[in-house]
Amino acid sequence: MKFGERLKSLRKSAGFTLAQLKEATGLSVSYLSDLERGRTNPSVKTLNKLASLYNISVSSLTEGIEGYGVNNEEELIPESLLALKKDPDIGKNITDEDLYSLNRISLRGKQPQTALEWKEIYLYLKRMLPGDE
């Protein structure tokens, strides 16, 4: 299957029109149409947006698609976020799923840029969200 076919299939399965997908992702209808027709390739940021919208991992989004050789989702996680695993205070508590979930966070269209920003967001979410402490 080609990537554009996968995107169109996911969109139709979710019941989205291109206009609705535009509203959900902030990407233009023409760009989304070009993606579905295979006329352009998505950026990592776009892959993350689409995967997040469909509630799947980037690996699942690109699995089996020719030319998308990302076999390790960690390859798509910024170094500043990966640095949390090495943090002496919280590193032992960070799971891969935490990293994948954090990597989907975008504030005003931008992701945090430093390990400190990621750490602050992680700690805030840990305090605010129920879970096993």
Tally Cβ neighbours within 10 Å of residue 81: 26
- On whether the pTM is more than 0.85, the answer is no
Q: How confident is the model at residue 9 (pLDDT cuts 50, 70, 90)?
A: very high
pLDDT in tens, 51-83: 889 988 887 888 877 666 444 455 567 888 888
48-53: average pLDDT = 90
CA–CA distance, 69 with 122 (Å, rounded to integer): 29
Residue that the structure tokens 């954090």 belong to: 102
The larger pLDDT score, comparing residue 101 to residue 86, is at 86
Residues 6+ apart with CB under 8 A from 124: none
CA distances from residue 91 to 87, 109, 118 in whole angstroms, order as listed: 5, 26, 12
- Mean pLDDT (the chain) is 84
Among 2-6, 16-20, 71-75, the range with the most confident prediction by mean pLDDT is: 16-20
